[in-house]
């Protein structure tokens, strides 16, 4: 694996090995993809201040996220269809995260179920991401299943009441769940490694839904259920209800406005995730990194701030930490590793992020990641609104 030295190497390899409709599902945003691109570009615009003649012999990336000790302030983000990037994808990613000493977050829209991931990891605590459905009884059942699986935190995603218009998915004919056409079958024929993996697993449907949601017993009923269950009436009262029902650490994801950050805290959030869903929802919205400072200013003294959307390196992670995030999430970077090399690829992605974070912190003259602050960054010559 010596030829894989950065996340971009994993992305290129994943593109060769993952069927196009599933690769494009990961590597794309909504509408013109301007927000998707801005997430990466605006992070890279932030320049470091290098320091010299500092004793950087002993360095630590140890930290905490949502009250949990972590080996570095990085968590694996919840991502749908992970098990379609590579067979048993959620299980493999959870196992890699366990060995790395960081949190893994399982999506409601995962292929492997809560129970399958728990059993495969020896009931090692992981986090569960909840999409609130119109069927509140099903949402309640998901919370109880997460509790039974010993999940140590619950994440509520707030920015998917409706789906963003994703042109790549439409052109590829990707549906939820996926339906194969002759074009797709031809593509699959060129991906024998992927096909062999899928033939060897029983995890090919949405494991948290099929056999659990009322009336969902097969592909046809799942299609109808998925189309009607995302709830446009989702409100902060629902977050309060979830907090009361769950009782444990609650993370609210999808925050882009200071007022929403305040409302999340008032509703019981123990942490909020500054996120624009990786540029997959509202195109034309600000990049996550440009909104991070104002969210930190609004609620950073009262709750924990996490960050996602655009992290492709340890340097990106360091930039977000410098602007006030307690921890960051990687989604696409993990999925590129998974699609490229399975569990070994996820491990490689995490090692790359860790090494880049550690070395960049050292170049900035810091030895403790928890002491990183804005002083390691140079002010922008042309400030982005809300950044400084």
- 262-302 pLDDT, tens digit per residue, is 999 999 999 999 999 999 999 999 999 999 999 999 999 99
Cα 317 to the center of its chain, rounded Å: 13
Given the residues 58, 167, 257, 277, the one annotated as active site: 277
Given a cut of 50, whether residue 316 has pLDDT beyond it is: yes
**Of 18-32, 110-124, 218-232, 337-351, the least confident:** 218-232
**DSSP type of residue 307:** E
pLDDT level of residue 217 (50, 70, 90 thresholds): confident
**Would you state the pLDDT for residue 388?**
43
**DSSP type of residue 228:** H
**DSSP type of residue 56:** -
Does the residue 385 lie in any domain?
no
Does the residue 147 lie in any domain?
yes
Mean pLDDT for 107-114 is 97
Residue ranges of the alpha helices (H) in the chain?
Answer: 7-17, 20-26, 34-45, 89-100, 114-120, 136-148, 167-172, 182-189, 192-199, 219-229, 236-246, 258-266, 288-299, 314-322, 332-341, 343-363
Does the residue 252 lie in any domain?
yes
pLDDT level of residue 219 (50, 70, 90 thresholds): low
Cα 197 to the center of its chain, rounded Å: 24
Does the residue 110 lie in any domain?
yes
**Would you state the pLDDT for residue 161?**
86
CATH number at residue 95: 3.20.20.70
Domains held by the chain: number: 1
Beta bridge pairs of residue 74: 328
**% residues pLDDT > 70 (the chain):** 96
Please state, in angstroms and rounded to a whole number, the distance separating the CA atoms of residues 256 and 279. Answer: 12
Residue 37, classified by CB atoms within 10 Å of its CB into exposed (0-12), middle (13-18) or buried (19+), is middle
Across all residues in the chain, what is the average pLDDT? 94
Given a cut of 60, whether residue 177 has pLDDT beyond it is: no
Does the residue 286 lie in any domain?
yes
Does the residue 77 lie in any domain?
yes
Distances (CA, A) of 270 to 165, 264, 309: 31, 9, 20
**Would you state the pLDDT for residue 215?**
83
**Would you state the pLDDT for residue 259?**
98
**DSSP type of residue 60:** B
**Would you state the pLDDT for residue 178?**
64
Does the residue 1 lie in any domain?
no
Model confidence pLDDT, tens digit, residues 29-45:
999 999 999 999 999 99
Please state, in angstroms and rounded to a whole number, the distance separating the CA atoms of residues 282 and 295. Answer: 18
**Of 22-36, 131-145, 212-226, the least confident:** 212-226
pLDDT level of residue 180 (50, 70, 90 thresholds): confident
Mean pLDDT for 223-251 is 91
Catalytic residue at 167? no
Model confidence pLDDT, tens digit, residues 67-106:
999 999 999 999 999 999 999 999 999 999 999 999 999 9
Please state, in angstroms and rounded to a whole number, the distance separating the CA atoms of residues 6 and 315. Answer: 12
Boundaries of domain holding 250: 7-376
């Amino acid at each position: 694996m010596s030829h894989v030295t950065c996340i971009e190497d994993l992305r290129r390899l994943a593109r060769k090995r993952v069927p196009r409709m599933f690769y494009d599902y990961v590597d794309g945003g909504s509408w013109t993809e301007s927000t998707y691109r801005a997430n990466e570009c605006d992070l890279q615009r932030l320049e470091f201040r290098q320091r010299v003649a500092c004793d950087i012999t002993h360095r630590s990336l140890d930290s905490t996220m949502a009250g949990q000790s972590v080996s570095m302030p990085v968590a694996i983000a919840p991502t749908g269809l992970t098990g379609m990037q590579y067979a048993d994808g959620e299980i493999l990613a959870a196992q890699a995260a366990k060995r790395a000493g960081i949190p893994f977050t399982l999506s409601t829209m995962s292929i492997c179920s809560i129970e399958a991931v728990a059993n495969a990891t020896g009931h090692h605590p992981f986090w569960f991401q909840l999409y609130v459905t119109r069927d509140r009884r099903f949402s309640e059942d998901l919370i109880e299943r997460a509790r039974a699986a010993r999940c140590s935190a619950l994440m509520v995603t707030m920015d998917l009441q409706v789906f963003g218009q994703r042109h790549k998915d439409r052109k590829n004919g990707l549906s939820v769940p996926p339906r194969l056409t002759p074009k797709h079958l031809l593509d699959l024929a060129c991906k024998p490694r992927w096909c062999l993996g899928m033939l060897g697993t029983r995890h090919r449907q949405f494991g948290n839904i099929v056999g659990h949601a009322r009336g969902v017993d097969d592909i046809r009923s799942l299609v109808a259920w998925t189309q009607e269950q995302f709830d446009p009436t989702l409100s902060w009262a629902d977050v309060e209800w979830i907090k009361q029902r769950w009782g444990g650490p609650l993370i609210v994801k999808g925050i882009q406005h200071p007022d929403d950050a305040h409302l999340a805290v008032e509703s019981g959030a123990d942490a909020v995730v500054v996120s624009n869903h990786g540029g997959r929802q509202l195109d034309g919205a600000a990049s996550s990194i440009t909104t991070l400072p104002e969210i930190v200013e609004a609620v950073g003294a009262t709750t924990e701030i996490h960050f996602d959307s655009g992290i492709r390196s340890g340097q990106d992670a360091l930039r977000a930490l410098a602007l006030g995030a307690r921890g960051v999430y990687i989604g696409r970077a993990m999925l590129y590793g998974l699609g490229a090399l399975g569990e070994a690829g996820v491990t490689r992605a995490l090692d790359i992020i860790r090494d880049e974070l550690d070395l960049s912190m050292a170049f900035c003259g810091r030895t403790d990641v928890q002491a990183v602050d804005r002083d390691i960054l140079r002010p922008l010559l042309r400030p982005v609104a809300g950044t400084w």
